[in-house]
Structure 1
Amino acid sequence: MIRIKLLVITISLLILNSCNGKKTSNDLQPVNTEKKLNTPESNTNNQENKYFSSLDNQISQVVRTIFQDSKGNLWFGTQNGAFKLQGDSLIQMDKIVSASGKGVTIKDITEARDGKIWLGHTDGISSVDGNIVTNYYESDGLISNDVWSVAADDKGNIWIGTIEGMCVFDGEEFKAFKLPEGKKDKTLSISSSKMVHNIYQDTKGTLWFSSNAGLFSYVNDSLTNVSERTGIQTNFINEVFEDKKEELWVSTKAGLYNLKKDHSENITEGKIETGKGIGSIAEDKNGNLWFVSDQHHLFTYDGENLIEFEQTENNKAPVTFEIFKDRDNRLWFVGFGGAYRLENGNFINVTRNGPW
């Protein structure tokens, strides 16, 4: 059994304006923001590990996203909520909950310029400011509680992508931001014509919206359909990634595109099987791109060669939802199966006990 030390902090917050301008108050329950996880005495009844009996003490059976904040803390977004690694202590943020008080699955994490951590999940969005957790729902102005992406821009706005489109929070109210409507991806179990998969701001300040209607850029209050302008041959866009040379890469249903000013190049076309498409992208310390194809295959690209990383039964990543490089230039792979780091060509399972 996991022994949990509770730190209870009581707080009431007034949630600001909703999209329609109506004031809504959200009196929080006593805020128990942190649960420190101790080593379980036994894993015999550990439901999280029932599909991974050989792996002890997983952070979660499913880790959907990983993020490192400006203080160096690592955050893990899982099907069992959010976990923060502070020093060598893994802490569960247990007051990130649904409107009915139930647990949520974290899908995306970002940090605003004021240091607040924002988390998008299956029942809204939540902010963490020190020991204060604030949860926002449709009743507070969100266009949908089913949030898939969240990003903070350099002006302090929080952009929220949902299954029903996108809105932006300026600290006082949520305002709908209209994108063209696309099509539902019928190859996925969860999809919609308005889904926004990823929101990203590049080093030049341009915002990028990856949706089921294509790729859009937004700068100086002007929205541009980049898919149409550059010839991307699909409207199912997963994410945008900027490498250290400030080149932009776009993962799509049809392959991995290198995005130029007025055209794009599909570097995977005719070279690999994309299946359900290209997923997460990251760059290692040597400047090689890593990306996921068809949910199960890992590839590297050095600017010339596409090479599949050979996984074996004794050395393999999880079914990878996200690849992430931390400040120490370490590559993380998180997904169905938990959290792993790639070290000297070997995948190291990172459990609740580390190794950190």
Structure 2
Amino acid sequence: MIKINFFTAIALSLIINSCSGQKSKNEIKESISSDKKLEKNKPNTSNSENFLFYSEINNQISQVVRTIFQDSKGIIWFGTQNGAFKFDGNSLIHIDSIKNESGKGVTIKDIAEDKDGIIWFGHEGGISSIDKKVVTNYYESDGLISNDVWCITTDKSNQVWIGTIQGVCKFDGKNFTSFELPQGEIDSTLGISSAKMVHSIFEDSKGTLWFSSNAGLFSYANNSLLNVSEAAGIQSNFVNEVFEDKNGELWVSTKNGLYSLIDNKAKNITKGKIETGKGIGSIAEDKDGNIWFVSNQHYLFIYDGNELIEYKKSDDNKGPVVFQILKDKDNETLVRWFWRCL
């Protein structure tokens, strides 16, 4: 069993310099001054950004880091079971004002940024935004279709798209509007699932939106919704994520494997080669064009365009649950991944 004693997302980032499996720890050891600013929260209104500086290296932000996001200014944001944190290179700051409708803390599941630099959070209690230091929370009482939010993204027209356990809606800054997707199936292998669950929403470089759901993969462009799973031959109703590489090629993680998607033709590159178990999870690309992905929650693989290479984290390769792989914006040969301790 692996124990992690510092915040998972930074101190135990694994630096990957090649596909050979070499790795090292990137320890952050600078002393951070301790300070705390408390302000009274008002539910469903704009709040000043309350924050807490972490000064001891043994303080960890959470044993569950669900998502990581690097914004346009280079700030790293962490979504955890203990709420949202940001790291500006010097200070680790907890955003206290992100709350559910009853005023309690939330688990952050996804993070996005719009064209105005506003950071958006999807969580188990609704959605929240941070505009400079002002936090605003939105709930079902404001028109959100469900407070149980699983993913969030912003498009080129600056609309916010929200995927929930009850489907999809979009937000224009004033009103929430439902967006209908076909109903799918309940994934009985997961503790939480629904026929309307949406796991990921992604806008590609051409402006097409991609919805990964329990009804399969759907694309949306020019006001037309297409069932890509049926058209391209993706043989799974349970789609987790779509990723676009630097060449514009799309990769799709599903319950039964990792697909490459070229000219609306899907190819399962993992079929019969690796154990998928609970499916393929997060996908990332390093600067050399290698595709990194998680299989069956615990196992990390690299695809170099020809073969699959397993990256062994330990002798038995049974590492913690990996929620996300992220390449930073420095364009170095590194991929960082983040996990839940078991």
Give the TM-score band, short-chain normalised: 0.7 to 0.9
Partner residue in 2 for 1:128: 130
Q: What is the identity, as a one-letter code, of the residue corresponding to 1:332?
A: R
Conserved? CA contact 2:49–2:96, under 8 Å:
yes
CA deviations over 1:248-294 (Å, ceiling 9, x no partner): 00000010000122311000001111111000000112111110000
Partner residue in 2 for 1:31: 48
Conserved? CA contact 1:196–1:209, under 8 Å:
yes
1:59: how far off? 2.6
Partner residue in 2 for 1:337: 341
Aligned equivalents of 1:114, 1:3: Cα separation in 2? 30
Aligned equivalents of 2:98, 2:273: Cα separation in 1? 43
Aligned equivalents of 2:277, 2:38: Cα separation in 1? 48
1:31: how far off? 3.2
SS at match of 1:119: strand
Map 1:338-353; keep pairs closer than 5 Å.
none
Aligned equivalents of 2:234, 2:301: Cα separation in 1? 21
Aligned equivalents of 1:236, 1:9: Cα separation in 2? 42
1:7 to 7, 22, 37: 37
1:57: how far off? 2.7
1:9: how far off? 5.8
Map 1:1-356; keep pairs closer than 5 Å.
5-8=35-38, 26-27=44-45, 31-39=48-56, 56-312=58-314, 318-328=320-330, 329=332, 330-337=334-341
**Against the structure 1 CA distance between its residues 138 and 271, is the aligned structure 2 distance closer, same or farther, given a 3 Å change threshold?**
same
Farther-moved stretch of structure 1 (254-263 vs 190-199): 254-263
Partner residue in 2 for 1:49: none
**Against the structure 1 CA distance between its residues 105 and 11, is the aligned structure 2 distance closer, same or farther, given a 3 Å change threshold?**
closer
CA deviations over 1:277-316 (Å, ceiling 9, x no partner): 0000001121111100000111000000001112216998
Aligned equivalents of 2:250, 2:152: Cα separation in 1? 19
Task: State how many pairs are aligned.
Answer: 309
Q: What is the identity, as a one-letter code, of the residue corresponding to 2:305?
A: G
Gaps of 5+ in 2: 1-31
Runs of 4+ aligned residues of structure 1 deviating over 3 Å after TM superposition are 8-12, 25-28, 313-318
Conserved? CA contact 1:318–1:334, under 8 Å:
no
Conserved? CA contact 2:298–2:318, under 8 Å:
no
* CA RMSD in angstroms, aligned pairs only: 2.1
Aligned equivalents of 1:216, 1:151: Cα separation in 2? 15
TM-score, length of structure 2 as denominator length: 0.86
**Against the structure 1 CA distance between its residues 254 and 133, is the aligned structure 2 distance closer, same or farther, given a 3 Å change threshold?**
same
Q: What is the identity, as a one-letter code, of the residue corresponding to 2:35?
A: K
Conserved? CA contact 2:41–2:97, under 8 Å:
no
Aligned equivalents of 2:105, 2:64: Cα separation in 1? 14
Aligned equivalents of 1:267, 1:315: Cα separation in 2? 21
Aligned equivalents of 1:137, 1:6: Cα separation in 2? 27
Conserved? CA contact 1:8–1:31, under 8 Å:
no
**Against the structure 1 CA distance between its residues 27 and 248, is the aligned structure 2 distance closer, same or farther, given a 3 Å change threshold?**
closer
Q: What is the identity, as a one-letter code, of the residue corresponding to 1:100?
A: S
Identity over aligned residues, as a percent?
A: 61
SS at match of 1:37: coil
Aligned equivalents of 1:37, 1:9: Cα separation in 2? 18
CA deviations over 1:143-187 (Å, ceiling 9, x no partner): 000000000000000000000000000111000000000000001
TM-score, length of structure 1 as denominator length: 0.83
Q: What is the identity, as a one-letter code, of the residue corresponding to 1:306?
A: L
1:7: how far off? 2.7
